[in-house]
Amino acid sequence: MAIVRVDDLRTQVVNEILDRIRTGNVDPHVRFTENSVSAMLGVSRTPAREALALLAQRGILQQNKRGFTLPRPTLEQLAQLTAVRQQLEPFAMRLVVSNLDQKARLDLAATIRMEATLHADDDSYISAHARIRDTILDATGNEILNDTIRQFDNFVMLVRVSTLKQPNWRAQSVAGQLAKADLIERGDPAEVEAFQRQMIEVTRQAFEVFLGEAELIESEAAVEVSDKTA
């Protein structure tokens, strides 16, 4: 009888928190603590504490005095991240189209269209967007490339989830996914590679707008507090 390996409790907690963040099932501005994770997942404080520490070590969460939150990149970090994404993700799209035969491309395109259209009008698109990215990356056949791209995904989870909650940016993302599906179906590696570069630039613009608005809100809040205490 084969032995089925079961992940330890800490790993299960890590995976559950990560999945809830990626799929938009927790507020992107949530503050995690040992107690909140313990209550949320029905586990003791020890695996909750260990999981939070591990997520912080991986850069997925950042620790402060009152708990753990999702990191918010600076504009400079966003520019650096965009430069890296421009090197990795267009190449990943080229691999997908180059590696798949026509039937596999048609199936992938159909999956993207189904996910994008079915969830286009509400926050369920956040989860659909994560599934689309995973499905596309799995089709590259390059696990090291996929793991590297996903590592950078973790760094911008707060911004990605926050922007996809906004109807205007979500609509742009849906349109981009549908256009990408058409290109995958058509099967021109250079064409889909160039399109992915354009999509990354659109994403950068959305992220910059969000970060700028967040800084403005915080600045106005700080002024209001200062006025009240003056």
Q: What is the mean pLDDT of residues 89-104?
A: 97
Mean confidence (pLDDT) of the chain: 87
pLDDT at 146: 94
The residue among 21 and 190 whose pLDDT is bigger is 190
Kindly tell me if the per-residue pLDDT of 222 is higher than 60. Answer: no
Kindly tell me if the per-residue pLDDT of 70 is higher than 50. Answer: yes
pLDDT digits (tens, 9 = 90+) for 39-59: 999 999 999 999 999 999 988
Global pTM value: 0.80
Q: Give the tokens for residue 91.
A: 């190449």
The closest alpha carbon to 67, from 41, 96, 23, 35, belongs to: 35
pLDDT at 89: 97
pLDDT band at 29 (very low <50, low <70, confident <90, very high): confident
pLDDT digits (tens, 9 = 90+) for 157-206: 888 888 899 999 999 999 999 999 999 999 999 999 999 999 999 999 98
Q: Provide φ and ψ at 67, rounded to 5°.
A: 145, -150
Q: What is the mean pLDDT of residues 75-81?
A: 91
Lowest mean per-residue pLDDT among 97-111, 184-198, 200-214: 200-214
Domain boundaries, the chain: 9-69, 75-219
Long-range contacts of 206-212 (CB under 8 A, 24+ apart): 206/163, 206/169, 206/172, 207/73, 207/78, 207/156, 207/159, 207/160, 207/163, 208/75, 208/78, 209/163, 210/159, 210/162, 210/163, 211/72, 211/73, 211/74, 211/75, 211/78, 211/159
Kindly tell me if the per-residue pLDDT of 73 is higher than 80. Answer: yes
User: Is 75-219 assigned to CATH 3.30.565.10?
Assistant: no
pLDDT at 213: 74
Tokens 């009008």 map to which residue?
Answer: 121
Whether the CB-CB separation of 212 and 220 falls below 8 Å is answered with: no
Q: What is the mean pLDDT of residues 17-43?
A: 88
pLDDT at 4: 42
| Second-level CATH architecture of 9-69 | Orthogonal Bundle (1.10)
Whether the CB-CB separation of 119 and 164 falls below 8 Å is answered with: no
